[in-house]
Structure 1
């Protein structure tokens, strides 16, 4: 059974707010009221704004805002506008009649997940198109919540001014994402653009690691290359080094880093002949990058057998012994939610658990992650069975990352290459897959740039902390901590060449949780078993889907 994108949105909203609530036949109330700017500032860091469903209220029209990204200066918000699903019509009707009631069904309680952005009529907004919202045009933001004693929160931006108003809305969007890795933005096309995350999964000091992320960059007006490393969520983040690789190469190739930082040229990527998951060809999901179509490892039957995978088949050139698998992928927000519910089981003993984990051997921590199927495992079929080539560490859910995986095909008979990708239930999302048999280019010119200037959000010089790997870290303990880093740059003179930019960073981060519930030791015991987290993920999904079916029967 596979989940459509629409189903995933619905299920994700239900499970996040909350999954285990009891269904009753009575009506409950929600409320959206206006508050002054002091209330905005006071509540902007509240965790209650996680996992929201964003709606653009464009005059008399309404659209679902997907793939939301906020500019680093917090003045614009880019999204893709889609038709509003029927389960999110309730406030469009009740907001006019002031009848703020909803049934505790999957359809009507979806209203509790909504954030409404009100703007004057803009004729450029249309279903199916990309849209950039200037936040100074936002008249009001309504955050819809359950009315416990007729209380709720709403945000009014009128009269706040561009800078403050844009910051308020931008912060709200950032907080609508759950915990993630340190955010990386790079200056490109006259603005800082959020582009991904670094050292995902390195949540203990002993897991501190090097990471390599490709960036889209262009020089600032001052002729520098500029990027930002920021903490946007409840985490304590530590960065040891921020080295920028500038690779000059021929225009007819692409340069991609593997997980260890080795550079590979991609000259002739070949799509799979087939991509089979649970007996179905899912090639349409993998053949075009950036098309918002992904394979989500969402087959419940395969997951129940701990065999959730997709097999990519390629034609093998005669006598080829090596190749590069090229993937564009990320972790899912679903995984973020599942892991959050797992840690909730520690309750008010979460800090004690984290303290004990900081003393655990690296091998033990990595073995647990592997047993729980958190990494993406890449294997090749040989005459001796499936041979694991690599396991990819988690990247984070914020943005797709392109990576290259060298694979040994010397033991694969001529004819067909089968590559298997496997992980836990809905832990990863694959956007694109191809293979390249060309030899790596030998003419790459790699310049390793150290920062020339680095300042934090207060203007403090933090350059010495980022110049080398010395275990002296730039620490970012609070949301809003941000380091702007600049590099000297010599413009490319050879018009036959182009350049690729890759950030090499090293560090780790720690989640901050403020759970007040008592620990649930019975619940936690299951996670000592292999594949328990994947099984739990599937159980959450099935429970949500059953809730959906029960709600439909009652209607």
Structure 2
């Protein structure tokens, strides 16, 4: 019954292909994507930011480099610095009119110091200014990195304004880093920006699902909203529906969707008062706000040999509230995403038969979902402390792993006693990336949602695929090859005066990984994963240990 039921992230999109040559000739796509240290490709990577294992966020002035398992770069932060001029061996400066500004020095003991604009000065034999901090971080002290990757491949157009097939499309993210889902890019008025990942984990038609994603970078241009969807992995992607939800609302109001497509307003968001793991470590700095500090333990057992973490969070409960909205920003971990392919590959030549079972037998699909909830690989149970103990009151569905979104989970607090709410989660190691948790006690405000169908959609070759995206049916827009792109356009309605606009993309679809389906099934591993509680997490830990060992030997 092995499979994967990841959920909740974003969906397909594109751009008007005919006749908007200006948008498609020479356009580029830009990503700043998170990766694990083991997924760095080498010294060519442009490292923009990283978090260390002790919770430090480091942003680099341009980008850092990897060399001999050490990340080195100049930070974007600065501290006051002064040094006697006679201790300086070299000075690099620039002149602005009559003033000379020192940009960089090398000290007599070989240290290089760079200064923030407008530079340092030399007064009375002392060079002083705001010095940029240089970092050298061993890779084993790095938890997660953000790297910049750009696809500047040009899109050629045939005469009559139709899109021609590109000779080659340089895909920015290697398949080893990304294991599932399409990528969605929003046109922000000047370029396409990576903005969404839809229906992660829907690995067969029987697991097809709806997805609801806020498009934070999408901007109207010429009365149109333009999106692009790409296949950047070894899989075939099937998109059944795509529509844009336009919400004009009171300024300053935040919105978030739940698993079922309900939109919620957020006006009284309370971060956790405390967040501790089983060993008593304070995780509040990691989980109190949505930022680059993401709690993502590797797929290794703890000191007691357990693959299950445990995090208990405490929140205020004003006026003995009986209902609350949990707002969680969580995603499938990078290693958890990789395990989708690894676990499906265990089925060997019986993979197609397993797909047929999931697609054709509702009971098989339901059994798979029950297994997933038991193991909490891609669905994380949320427990509320009540007089009877810890009670499961909902589940968070994984997404990503590159883009996590705020998701709302309504919770019933009627059985809770006192002025505090305590929540518990028990994520298996390596499968979850946890960014932030909060409770919102405000009443949902009434919203007017305009659901807008696309007016044009074409694939990489310029073929019209609009009808495939208009309704959930048996007609799918299919992207079978790595490098396929789809371009879609929506009309942009005039905004209502005195409001702010939030945009959501509602899509529906699934995908099939490109696996050979050859060889004998690994029945021992499949039995362990399907039947033993925690067996899947132990399998993932064994694969992680093997990967680390192979990487260290290669170094």
Considering the TM-score relative to the shorter chain, is it more than 0.5?
yes
**Any idea what SS the aligned residue of 1:426 has?**
coil
The residue number in structure 2 matching 1:84 is 66
Higher relative contact order (CA 8 A, sep 6+): 2
Alpha-carbon deviations, 1:401-458, whole Å to 9, x = none?
111111111111122101122332221101111111111112x221111111111111
The residue number in structure 2 matching 1:481 is 484
Match of 1:497 among 484, 488, 499: 499
**Any idea what SS the aligned residue of 2:457 has?**
strand
Pairs within 5 Å for 1:140-539: 170-171=170-171, 173-278=173-278, 279-296=280-297, 300-301=301-302, 304-305=305-306, 307-360=308-361, 361=363, 362-374=365-377, 375-442=379-446, 444-494=447-497, 496-514=498-516, 517-529=519-531, 530-539=533-542
Q: Where does structure 1 lack aligned partners over 5 or more consecutive residues?
A: 1-49, 68-77, 90-122, 138-162
Alpha-carbon deviations, 1:3-32, whole Å to 9, x = none?
xxxxxxxxxxxxxxxxxxxxxxxxxxxxxx
Q: Partners of 2:172 and 2:69 in 1: how far apart?
A: 23
Q: Partners of 2:46 and 2:492 in 1: how far apart?
A: 42
Answer yes or no: is 1:53 the counterpart of 2:40: yes
**Any idea what SS the aligned residue of 1:335 has?**
helix
Does the CA contact (< 8 Å) of 1:135 and 1:166 recur in 2? no
Q: Partners of 2:150 and 2:298 in 1: how far apart?
A: 36
The residue number in structure 2 matching 1:145 is none
**Any idea what SS the aligned residue of 2:340 has?**
helix
Q: Which structure dedicates a bigger proportion of its chain to helix?
A: 1
Change (3 A) 1:298 1:178: closer
Q: Partners of 2:425 and 2:213 in 1: how far apart?
A: 21
Alpha-carbon deviations, 1:378-409, whole Å to 9, x = none?
12111122222222333131212111111111
Does the CA contact (< 8 Å) of 1:288 and 1:431 recur in 2? yes
Does the CA contact (< 8 Å) of 1:63 and 1:127 recur in 2? no
**Any idea what SS the aligned residue of 2:495 has?**
coil
Q: Partners of 2:436 and 2:62 in 1: how far apart?
A: 20
The residue number in structure 2 matching 1:29 is none
**Any idea what SS the aligned residue of 1:412 has?**
coil
Q: Which structure dedicates a bigger proportion of its chain to strand?
A: 2
Q: Where does structure 2 lack aligned partners over 5 or more consecutive residues?
A: 1-36, 51-59, 72-115, 118-131, 136-144, 154-163
Segment drifting more, 176-185 vs 323-332:
176-185
Does the CA contact (< 8 Å) of 2:189 and 2:221 recur in 1? no
Q: Partners of 1:256 and 1:127 in 2: how far apart?
A: 39
Alpha-carbon deviations, 1:341-365, whole Å to 9, x = none?
3333333443344344433432112
Change (3 A) 1:242 1:311: same
Does the CA contact (< 8 Å) of 1:205 and 1:508 recur in 2? yes
Q: Which of the two has higher C-alpha Rg?
A: 2
**Any idea what SS the aligned residue of 1:300 has?**
coil
Q: How many residues are aligned here?
A: 427
Shift of 1:513: 0.6
Q: Partners of 2:223 and 2:512 in 1: how far apart?
A: 35
Q: Partners of 1:522 and 1:248 in 2: how far apart?
A: 54
Q: Partners of 1:88 and 1:426 in 2: how far apart?
A: 23
Does the CA contact (< 8 Å) of 2:525 and 2:539 recur in 1? no
**Any idea what SS the aligned residue of 2:319 has?**
coil
Shift of 1:516: 5.1
Change (3 A) 1:189 1:359: same
CA RMSD of aligned residues (A): 3.7
Q: Partners of 2:351 and 2:441 in 1: how far apart?
A: 48
Alpha-carbon deviations, 1:260-301, whole Å to 9, x = none?
111111112111011111221111112232324334486733
Does the CA contact (< 8 Å) of 2:149 and 2:172 recur in 1? no
